[in-house]
Structure 1
Amino acid sequence: MSAFDTANPAFSVMDLARLAREHFGVEGRVKALPSERDQNARLICEDGREFVLKIANPAEDPVQIALQNATMRHLEAVGMAGLPRVVATRDGADHAVVEVAGRPALMRLVTWVAGVPLAETERTPGQLRALGGFMGRMARAMQGFGHPAAFRPGFPWSLDQVGQLAGHVEDIADPWRRAMVAALFARYAARVAPRLAGLRAGVLHQDANDWNVITEAAEPERIAGLIDFGDMCHGRVVNELAITLAYAVLDAPDLYAALWSVISGFAAEFPLTEDEADVVLDLMRMRLACSVCISSRQSKLHPENDYLLISQGPAFAALERMGKIDAEFLVALCRRAAGFEAVRGVGALRAALQAAAVQPILRPDPRRLPRMALPTDGSLRDMPAFSDRAFDNWFAAQRPASVPADLPFLGFGAWGEKRSVYTSAQFADAASEERRTRHLGIDIFAPAGTGLHAALDGVVHSVTYNADPLDYGHTLILRHQMAGREFFTLYGHLGGTLPGLVQPGQQVKAGDLIAHFGDWHENGGWAPHVHFQIMSSMLGQDGNFFGVGHDSLWEVWADICPDPNLILRIEPESFTIDPEPPEAILAHRRRVIGRSLSVSYREKLKIVRGRGVWLIDHTGRRHLDTVNNITHVGHCHPHVVAAQARQAAELNTNTRYLHGLMPALADRIAATMPGNLSVVTFVNSGTEANELALRIARTALGKKDTVVLDWAYHGNSGGTVEISPYKFKRKGGFPQPDFLQVATFPDPYRGPHRGADSGPAYAADLDRCLDAVAARTGDGAATFIAESLSGVGGQVVLPQGYLAGVYDRVRARGGICIADEVQCGFGRVGSAFWGFQLQGVVPDIVVLGKPIGNGHPLAAVVTTPELADRFANGMEYFNSFGGNPVSMAVGHAVLDVIETEHLQAKALATGERLMAGYRRLAERFRVIGDVRGSGLFVGVELVGDRETRLPDAAAADMVVDVLRRRGILSSTDGPDDNVLKIKPPMVFGPDEADLLLAETETALGALA
């Protein structure tokens, strides 16, 4: 035997008791404790105090003992609980000196840490989190502590120096294990060693194994303390966590939960840096590699010692278990547990994708197509599994009869959905008993052979056939660059055309045809669909990728595979079954809402959201809105919504108080008006505005007599219905009031005077009306009110010279002229801000409707100071909320958008594009009799015969119905309901115009 072996201290129990009494003044019962080279004993005093008497091997470096003592004293000074405390000798020293085999040996007394070793308890996530938290507090407490003895060059257990053990790999007997550990050393050299210099360093405990960690006896999930400071050294602080992890994962039933618990607990007490989170997994595995290398070398030197090989079994088992798991996934898990993104930069990638221009992956755009959700949560109880061939017949039966034959009917499966269908071996896991069940992509179901297009520019990363049952079958992965980083998109379950369309390394442009939906025999054994997925990292995969993740680790998987809807932009309703479909709401509405309130379309729409020019129904299908002029700057424009919310949160009250927003908005509106139109009164609706305009005019004239155009509509109140032939001349109406005169409707296409130069002829008809007024009242003075362009009259642009001639006649008799701009104002006509400006006239009163508030209850009347003064005759005009602060904030926001987004110019350009397109269609379809309009105020009149110009309301109704079924919301107007009216939100642009024209062409083709 060597001198080293013979020098082990071996005092009797009686001698140990005597030494404790003589040197430390402590007396008690002594109980021997196991130790390898030193001698340790437990000292139990009658007063309940307990200590550990420690006699070091004579070969132990005294400097290392000094390091341990200094560390314990430092930790005591900073208040770190749960650690042994150094007990001073009778003369105040840290240690005493005894003789062992003729050589001096150091003896110390430290306090006993009561509890149960971690090794003797059942591991739980809560206990492991507590362990991580304790070691995090330990790392925090060690900050600022230093000692020269902590620097131990060549120390084999230092992870900073673990590379020196690479030569020991050859001592591992099993060739497979040898190769596995060699790969770990190579990964360490390439991935970790170059980063060590940038990591935080300090003095480390280095040995939080399950015998050194003490739990509370009554509550094993709580950590009582930590003992044995014999392996201390200076190193990277993250090594402390790595070593703790190495012991925590041994035999852990759920490896993922163990990693997560320890790391999150540690980081909660001592936050890691991002670089530390990156390498902790590798460092943990290197601690295990270090253990098996040292034990393998010792076994080679001492082949008679079988225990050396037996003891390395758990470490090899843990390494082999982790070897079955994607290492980069484990790194991602560690990062997320430490509080960082699972993949560095994924947040910036999400933001970039959200703002990126993308192409739809189907044609037509899947956002516009009819669809249904295919949830696997039991919402559809009779739905077969996607892997059951009965699904095909079931899905075909769900297609509504109203869906046009040439449009695909889509099914959608959600990202993040928990599914029970993943039962085959590839969805099991070596790390835990939990199967992967949460869907990482979005599924779109459509017929086999449906074409797929690239959503973004990219390069073909791989083209692979993954042939296992319930795998992807033909699989395409594209590589992209965005936000300064690389990411990938996956298209799975493809057809056999894939390899012929694209090859690895090929450049792909957004919109390119790249694949087709596969059928059962080629897509892994699933109903035809595409699985579309984003990967912020390929991890360690190539040619394939996980399509399903663990529910318990969803926040990790969600970083690795962000929501594909960042690219697809499918509405969320596409993935859920609406518990209150349209028919249920319609039945409810019929019970509680007046029957006179109409509902559009044969197939009723339940609209749940609006965005810009789109309305979204309860299934998530987008419908192009071509008729809602009230939402002037687009549905839910963010600037308008924000202004409304901001002011509503601050103040909304009646107009008897002063508030600066009201006169400021009046100034802005008046600045758009010609002449002396400068006094603004705010109300809540176009109807209310027309009522007020009539009151002002009638008060100024001292009489009620009014002249309107035939087929005019000015509101739904009693007073405005009385002057709306569109209402009182139809079913349920009443005789024309005696104070009202109805002028001939100035329709240059179908009226009695035809052609663009018919304005003066129609204006002359006003003499008839004014003469009738004179016969009734004696002077012929009357209020004349007309829309500047006629909406319900059939989107008619009044012939040039008409309003000028009318205004001259009315004013010559002492009358007042009102321009109703409810439908055509605020830049809609394109070449002018107000419709009346197209006629070169200046009204006496102008009426503005809800487009001023983008649908918010806001309207206004603008008149001259003279008329305003005449109206102020002593009878107060009060409107509680006409002009309230919220409405005023909204009005300002709408004007902001009109100005900053140049919507008037956009209306002009888009309107010209639309009308040119409709005129081209008229060359092919004789049912189009007339195309007219200005800006985004357009009418297309359908006729049965172009010569006679007979209206064809049936054709117009059919076109509207076909467009509705194709996702375009349109409507008709005109005395015969034969005019397609187009007056969409002003954000309607060239793309939407082209879409409307294309779908109208299809609808007109259906008439043949």
Structure 2
Amino acid sequence: MTAFTTGNPAFTAKELVAMATTHFGMVGTVRPLPSERDQNARLICGEQDYVLKIANPAEDPGQIDLQTATLRHLARVGQPGIPRVVPTIDGADRATITVAGRASQMRLVTWIAGKPLAEEPRSLPQLANLGRFMGGLTRSMQGFGHPQAFRPDFPWSLDHVIQLRDHVADIADPARRALVERLFLRHERLIAPRLPGLRASVLHQDANDWNVITDPADPTRIAGLIDFGDMCHGRTVNELAITLAYALMAAPDLYAAIRAVISGFAAEFPLTEDEADLVYDIMRMRLVCSVCISSRQSKLHPDNEYLLISQGPAFALLERLERLDPGFMVALCRKAAGFAAIPEASAIVAELGNCRTQPILATDPCRAARIALPTVGGHPDMPAFSDRAFDDWMTAQRPTDLPADMPFVGFGLYGEKRAVYTAAHFADAASDERRTRHLGIDIFAPAGTAIHAPMDGVVESVSYNADPLDYGHTLILRHETASGRAFFTLYGHLGGSLPGLCRAGQAVSAGQMIGHLGDWHENGGWAPHLHFQIITSLLAQRGNFFGVGHDSLWDVWADISPDPNLLLRLEPESFAIDPEPSAALLARRRAVIGPSLSVSYREKLKMVRGRGAWLIDHTGRRYLDTVNNITHVGHCHPHVVQALARQAAELNTNTRYLHEAMPHLAERIAATMPGDLKVVTFVNSGTEANELALRIARTALGKKDTVVLDWAYHGNSGGTVEISPYKFKRKGGFPQPDFVQVAAFPDAYRGPFRGAESGPAYAADIDRCLNAIAQRSGSGAACFIAESLSGVGGQVILPVGYLADVYARIRARGGLCIADEVQCGFGRVGPEFWGFATQGVIPDIVVLGKPIGNGHPLAAVVTTPELAARFANGMEYFNSFGGNPVSMAVGHAVLDVIEAEQLPARAVTTGAALMAGYRGLAERFPIIGDVRGMGLFIGVELVTDRETRNPATQAADHVVDQLRLRGILASTDGPDDNVLKIKPPMVFGPREAGILLTETEAALGSMS
């Protein structure tokens, strides 16, 4: 063979063909391939082509051993797309030849058909496939080792890139030199200390555009990888970092390219979380490695202009990446690898969902009148938030009857894609995509509106971001969750008061005023509003933060800035426009529902959700419910809802079959009753329960005569309306039935017998009724039915001893006594579980209604075994679903909650606070004539004059309407509808009591 004095192999084509035949038994033609120091040629041999590789004599044979061992390993594990080693005729993996008098290694490997990636157009599917191919290769390399792979002095070893730091001085351009020095500093401080904890393996290390081969039939598919000459042992993630470095050089959209490559790689070879954290910085150090080596070579060989040209793409990419937030790029890499963009994001979100917060405005935005302000598909005439006409438009939306001191707010949506973000700072160097998706919630209110901290925290920064359409005055607070995880809240578009209120490092308490809404000239050029945002990591930002994210990267941004509603706790309706608001629904209802079914308030409310002591309307506004005693343990109590759903999914059928839930609930209820009240019958409503109670009493007595209290109400059926003066004495009523006697209503404040000692006088009126019955029927025996505390009569607490005296008079004539506990039972009046116990009596029959099922159709009648036996006179009593398994499960759940949450005791505390508060208001507002009640059964009677005690009916109606406008659901009772009734769900607590008292004071004050 011919030797060449240059030292580099340079055989002719004829010589190469001859060597292939001599050493490998291959006959074909050759085509030269480019190579820097070795000589490579394509050997074309019919169906299969090969690459003939002749190493430079200076090549370390150990490195050829490494390459050969690697290719054989990959062949054994079945890794596709890798050249296969072709043995010599005598079975060796190489032949030794002479080049320029020195021994050289000649090898033959299979040819990978296709085009280099450099010659094909780029696409995201292609990059994803590149990532998958390199991930598969990395997986195949696990478990492989070779002594020649350890090359600590190899300049391309990223594990030892710090050894190139002295090359920085060789970079000619000062700006580029400073950029690279900053990256070395970051690597030394943040990256190098973490490298020892990463996985390590033998790496290919050179997946550049010319070494990656694409499928000739489909350029998006990767056919193979060639050139294993730069192999070494290193951190496994370096393989991905190097692949990324080359893939990004020609990428128009860096974000999409990074996601495609990493997600593809991780699909085949899952990364560890530490690897996902570091791959971005390691990728940049590969680019640093490239420009440092080329700069040193250029200094050593100043006439070789190619060296500086070749470093151009690497520097261009480094400069492009330098303009991006490195924290965000790490977050993107983490997400692409299958992890949360921010390590603590999910834990922070979980904790914030359960933490205690304070309202961000003086009046909780949850309670404020509001309007949703979607910018797409929203109000067709709404100006842009950056248009000064928006102020006038927002003013026009405010309800005309809303009290001046009540806020009216607008909510801008989190996650909304908006067209208004046109300023330069909403674009970046990574792609052509602008940031358009809103990362906060906007609260629009007048300039100067005070802002309060939702949680304890420390001021992270106070700044003025003056660019048009930026934040203007900006506050960022640092907080910690209960477990010590740090997160941040951002308040943008504040006014000039901010620097005087907050300074960096200052501690801030929950509820503390921290700023005011800025006006146009100080808030970045927006309509006055607060941009409120949660941030799980400030990334690399200081004094400012992204308020808008990329639509295509929303899953990354959502980890960085999760929904601020975690702290605001606004209802979802706050961010949507109801297609059928109250007026439209009312019209539809009137067309198909009978007009006798009334609807509360002049301005009708459309309720869509309930929770605890609150009801939520179609705009998302929360109303404090002060009158709904039906939902005894609170609207939609989770324990009750779960019990209902669980049993409904298992069985619900009629009561002709045995089911253990019915007797068990009867036993639990009977255990709360005194004396011989042990027999329970379940029905579906309080009306039905009163009907059954009357039937039992009348059957036992053998007569229908009934004594009731004036203004009593016991149900809406024909039989109960007959004994309800509240119904038959009013408009649309009928003459008093002859079997009904109406006793004087025992109202010690405004009844016919006034005064604290009026009980005996009222009780004596019972004798008048019984005498009338005796005259009509010859016997004074009758059943007596009364609420233990009067509801519709005006929240009246019966005079002390009244029921004991009445019961004695009724029983002396052979009559029976029925206690209607529909509104006042189950612990509402405090330590006594039943209202009748406050009067020291034991009824013959007790009626239970609404509270027993928390709104579910469930009621009950409790009586004695003797009366139950007398009722069983041969006429079957059957109730298809009174006592069905689902209703029984609900009843058990309600009792569970009453016991577990100690609601009777809470009713005493909260009720006492309410009555004390109302009595305090009475000292300032003479219109309050009387405050009375027990537990959470309270009446506040309004009068025109405390001496005459004339009812102030119109004033009561005004107060109720004012409370509605202020987000309080109230109502009136009493013969003249002048008594404010307070019978809220039993979960009503001190906070709710404070709100009710404050708003009642404002409502009363509005009359002056």
TM-score, with normalisation over the residues of structure 2? Answer: 0.98
Contact 1:966 1:999 in 2 (8 A): yes
Aligned to 1:322: 321
Give, as a single letter, the amino acid of the residue that structure 2 aligns with 1:768: R
Q: Which moved more, 1:726-735 or 1:954-963?
A: 726-735
Q: Name the SS of the counterpart of 2:745 in structure 1.
A: coil
Question: What pairs up with 1:455-466 in 2 under 5 angstroms?
Answer: 455-466=454-465
Does the CA-based 8 Å contact 1:624-1:967 persist in structure 2? yes
Bigger drift between 786-795 and 35-44 goes to: 35-44
Structure 1 Cα separation of the partners of residues 93 and 646 of structure 2 = 68
Q: Partners of 2:663 and 2:275 in 1: how far apart?
A: 60
Structure 1 position 213 matched with structure 2 position 208: no
**1:996 lines up with 2:996 in the alignment:** yes
Instruction: Tell me what 1:961 maps to.
Output: 961
Show the counterpart of 2:952. 952
Task: Tell me which residue corresponds to 1:394.
Answer: 393
Measured in 2, the distance between the counterparts of 1:943 and 1:132 equals 81
Secondary structure of 2:266's match?
Answer: helix
Distance 1:705 1:79 in 2: 97
Compare 213-222 and 533-542 and name the one that shifted more. Answer: 213-222
Alignment of 1:51-200 (within 5 A): 51-200=50-199
Which residue of 2 is the match for residue 382 of structure 1?
381
Paired position in structure 2 for 1:20 = 20
| C-alpha contact (below 8 Å) 2:57/2:105 kept by paired residues | yes
- In structure 2, C-alpha distance between the alignment counterparts of 1:880 and 1:6, rounded to whole Å: 106
The one-letter amino acid paired with 1:454 is A
Closer, same or farther: CA 845–167 of 1 in aligned 2, 3 Å: same
> Which amino acid is 2:213 matched to?
I
The alpha carbon displacement at 1:4 in A equals: 12
Amino acid at match of 1:95: R
Instruction: Report how far residue 119 of structure 1 moved.
Output: 1.4
1:535-579 CA-to-partner distances (Å, cap 9, x unmatched) read 111111111111111111111111111211111112221122111
Kindly state the Cα deviation for residue 455 of structure 1 after the two structures are TM-superposed: 1.4
- Partners of 1:49 and 1:346 lie apart in 2 by 54
**Bigger mean CA deviation after superposition, 299-308 or 453-462:** 453-462
In 2: Cα distance, 1:6 partner to 1:98 partner: 16
1:624 aligns with 2:624: yes
Query: For 1:1004 and 1:526, how far apart are their aligned partners in 2?
Result: 38
One-letter amino acid of the counterpart of residue 622, structure 2: R
**1:500 alignment counterpart:** 500
Q: CA deviation at 1:872?
A: 2.5
How do 1:722-761 residues align onto structure 2 when only pairs under 5 Å count?
722-761=722-761
Residue 677 of structure 2 corresponds to residue 677 of structure 1: yes
My pick for the range that moved more, 970-979 or 61-70, is 61-70
Matched-pair contact (CA < 8 Å) for 2:5–2:100: no
The C-alpha deviation readout for 1:396-432, integer Å capped at 9, x for no partner, is 1111101111222111111111110011111111100
Change (3 A) 1:301 1:892: same
Secondary structure of 1:640 counterpart: helix
Partner of 2:810: 810
Q: Which amino acid aligns with 1:836?
A: F
Letter in 1 for 2:92: A
Letter in 2 for 1:364: T
What is the match of residue 434 of structure 1? 433
Q: Distance in 1 between matches of 2:840 and 2:438?
A: 63
Distance in 2 (alpha carbons) for counterparts of 1:32 and 1:652: 84
Tell me how far 1:491 sits from its aligned partner. 1.1
- Identity of paired residues, percent? 76
- Contact 1:4/1:59 (<8 A) preserved: no
Where in structure 2 are there 5+ consecutive unaligned residues? none
Distance 2:551 2:973 in 1: 54
Cα deviation code 1:489-520 (max 9, x no counterpart): 11111111111112222211111111111111
- Of the structure 1 ranges 9-18 and 911-920, higher mean CA displacement relative to structure 2 is found in 9-18
Instruction: Report if the CA contact (8 A) 2:4-2:10 is conserved.
Output: no
8 Å Cα contact 2:4/2:99 also seen in 1:
no
Q: Any idea what the Cα deviations from partners look like across 1:432-458, whole Å, max 9, x if unmatched?
A: 000011111111111111111111111
Q: Which residue of 1 aligns with 2:262?
A: 263
**CA distance in structure 2 between the partners assigned to 1:72 and 1:922 by the alignment:** 94
Deviation at 1:686, TM superposition (A): 1.2
Give unpaired runs (5+ residues) of structure 1. Answer: none
Cα distance, 1:282–1:603 mapped onto 2, change above 3 Å: same
Q: Which residue of 1 aligns with 2:6?
A: 6
- Give the equivalent residue in structure 2 for 1:924: 924
Aligned to 2:244: 245
Please, which moves more after superposition, 582-591 or 82-91? 82-91
How far apart, in 1, do the equivalents of 2:757 and 2:20 lie? 122
- Name the aligned partner's letter for residue 328 of structure 1: G
2:400 and 2:903 map into 1 onto residues whose CA distance is 39
Matches within 5 A, 1:524-923: 524-923=524-923
What SS does structure 2 have at the residue aligned with 1:203? strand
Aligned-partner SS, 1:806: helix
User: Residue 679 of structure 1 contacts residue 862 of structure 1 at CA under 8 Å; is this kept in 2?
Assistant: yes
1:5, 1:442 → 2: CA distance?
75
Alpha-carbon offset, residue 702 of structure 1: 2.6
Q: Distance in 2 between matches of 1:652 and 1:55?
A: 85
* Distance in 2 between residues matched to 1:750 and 1:943, nearest whole Å: 10
The total of aligned residue pairs comes to 1005
How far apart, CA to CA, are the structure 2 residues paired with 1:77 and 1:699?
95
The answer on whether the counterparts of 2:4 and 2:100 sit within 8 Å (CA) in structure 1 is no
Secondary structure, counterpart of 1:368 in structure 2: coil
Distance 2:699 2:441 in 1: 65
Alignment of 1:463-502 (within 5 A): 463-482=462-481, 483-502=483-502
Question: Secondary structure of the equivalent of 1:364?
Answer: coil
Q: In the alignment, is the contact (CA less than 8 A) between 1:68 and 1:230 conserved in 2?
A: yes
Structure 1 counterpart of 2:381, one-letter code: D
Q: Structure 1: how far apart are the matches of 2:907 and 2:703?
A: 40
Q: What residue identity is the alignment partner of 2:718?
A: G
SS of the aligned residue for 2:156 comes to coil
**Local SS of the residue matching 1:366:** coil
In structure 2, relative to structure 1, the CA distance for the partners of 1:106 and 1:875 (3 Å cut) is farther
Contact 2:23 2:95 in 1 (8 A): yes
Change (3 A) 1:20 1:702: farther
Structure 1 residues 256 and 777: CA distance shift in structure 2, 3 A: same
Question: For the Cα contact (< 8 Å) 1:196–1:236, is it kept in 2?
Answer: yes
1:76·1:85 contact (CA, 8 Å) conserved in 2? yes
Q: Cα deviation per residue 1:842-888 (whole Å; 9 max; x = unaligned)?
A: 11211111211211111112222222222233333222222222222
- Tell me what 1:302 maps to: 301
Higher alpha-carbon deviation: 303-312 or 62-71: 62-71
Tell me the CA shift for residue 904 of structure 1.
Answer: 0.6
The equivalent of 1:511 in structure 2 is 511
Higher mean C-alpha deviation, range 91-100 or range 320-329 = 91-100
Cα offset, 1:5, TM superposition? 9.0
Tell me the residue number matched to 2:44. 44
Which piece of structure 1 moves more, 416-425 or 803-812? 803-812
Contact 2:468-2:524 at 8 Å conserved across structures: yes
Greater shift in the superposed pair: 775-784 or 886-895: 775-784
1:228 aligns with 2:201: no
- Report which stretch shifted further, 756-765 or 907-916: 756-765
Which is worse superposed, 667-676 or 183-192? 667-676
For 1:75 and 1:945, how far apart are their aligned partners in 2? 100
Structure 1 distance, partners of 2:296, 2:388, is 59
The CA deviation at 1:629 is 0.7
Q: Indicate conservation of the 8 Å contact 1:119/1:211, yes or no.
A: yes
> Could you say what secondary structure the match of 1:521 adopts?
helix
Please say if residues 785 and 818 of structure 2, whose CA atoms lie closer than 8 Å, have aligned partners that are also in contact: yes
Higher mean alpha-carbon deviation, 56-65 vs 276-285, is at 56-65
SS at structure 1 position matched to 2:895:
helix
CA distance in 1, matches of 2:13, 2:87: 21
**Partner amino acid, structure 2, of 1:966:** R
Shift of 1:75: 1.8
Q: Residue 894 of structure 2 aligns to a residue in which SS?
A: helix
In the alignment, the residues of structure 1 paired with residue 712 and residue 666 of structure 2 have an alpha-carbon distance, to the nearest angstrom, of 28
CA gap 1:655/1:51 in 2 versus in 1, 3 angstroms: farther
1:822 partner letter: V
